[in-house]
Amino acid sequence: MFTIKEIPKISEAEWSIMKVLWEKSPLTSTEIIQALKEVTSWSPKTIHTLISRLVKKEAIGEKKESRLKSFFPLVTEEECKSTETKSFLKKVYSGSLQMFIANFVKDEKLSQNEIEELKDILDGKKDS
């Protein structure tokens, strides 16, 4: 039997941790704290708390090979992005990517350049 993996809800602050671990893993808490030092001003204690919560949610796993625990993602970045995107589109744009893009073009005033770039991305020529 397979257990279907639920994508846990990852809060704003927790996303920062996940990003670090998706970038490189496994990492010890100290390493995570180091990496985040450049991006946030959280106390190490706060980061420890966030890590524990992610472990509890089973978004990341821990292993203890040496005497230090290290942590690694249990969910992929793609899964999380996809889940997050769907819930955002549902909440704000009735689930419609079209509506999202249309509004974005209208309200955020994309430049012609950006529009061309996006069209290229849509065509799969996604260098830029």
Q: Which is nearer to DNA, 92 or 122 (CB)?
A: 92
- Shortest distance (Å) from residue 126 CB to DNA: 31
Separation of alpha carbons 10 and 107, rounded Å? 29
Q: Are 89 and 96 in contact (CB under 8 A)?
A: yes
Q: At closest approach, how far in Å is the CB of 21 from DNA?
A: 14
Partner from a copy of itself, DNA, none contacting 101, C-beta within 5 to 8 A by type: a copy of itself
Binding mask 30-69 for DNA (x = CB under 7 A): x----------xxxxxx-xxx-xx----------x--xxx
Rounded Cα gap, residues 21 and 11, in angstroms: 15
Beta-ladder partners of 61: 72
**Strand order across the beta sheet in which 69-73 lies:** 27-28, 69-73, 60-64
Q: Give 70 or 75: the residue with its C-beta nearer to a copy of itself.
A: 75
Per DSSP, what are the bridge partners of residue 72? 61
Q: Which stretches of the chain bind DNA, using CB under 7 A?
A: 9, 11-14, 28-30, 41-46, 48-50, 52-53, 64, 67-69
